[in-house]
Amino acid sequence: MSFPKSYKEFEETLAQHSPPPTWSGALKAMWFDVKGDWESSHNIAQDMYDNHGSWIHAYLHRKEGDKYNAGYWYRMAGKTFPSMNLEDEQRQLVEYFLAE
C-alpha cells in the first residue's frame, strides 16, 4: 500500500488490520486513534520524545477528558489548548502528519 496523499486515502487504510510499517510513529498513532484504539495510540505517542508525540499525547488526554494533563502536553508541544472540537483536531493532526 502506498502512502496516502489525502485524508480520504488515509480513511481507506482503516480497513486494514494494522497501519503500514513504513509510516511514521505519529501517523500510526493517529491511525489507531481514528480506529478507536486509544490505548495503542497512546502507547505510541508516549514513546515519541518530540513535539509531535507531545501534540498527539495532548489530544489523546483531551479526548479522555483529562484537561489538566492535556494542558501540560499542549504546552510541551508548543501549542495552545484548542477551541475546536475533537473531530476537527483529529483530522488536523492526520492531515498535518500526511503533509510531512
CA distance 2 to 44: 22
CA distance 14 to 92: 17
- Tell me what pLDDT residue 100 has: 87
CA distance 54 to 75: 8
- Tell me what pLDDT residue 1 has: 59
- Work out the number of other CB atoms within 10 angstroms of the CB of residue 82: 15
Rounded mean pLDDT for each run of 10 residues along the chain, 100 residues in total:
90 95 97 98 97 98 97 98 98 96
Tell me, rounded to whole angstroms, the distance of Cα 18 from its chain centroid. Answer: 15
CA distance 24 to 26: 5
- pTM to 2 decimal places: 0.95
Give 11's Cβ-side CA count (13 Å radius).
5
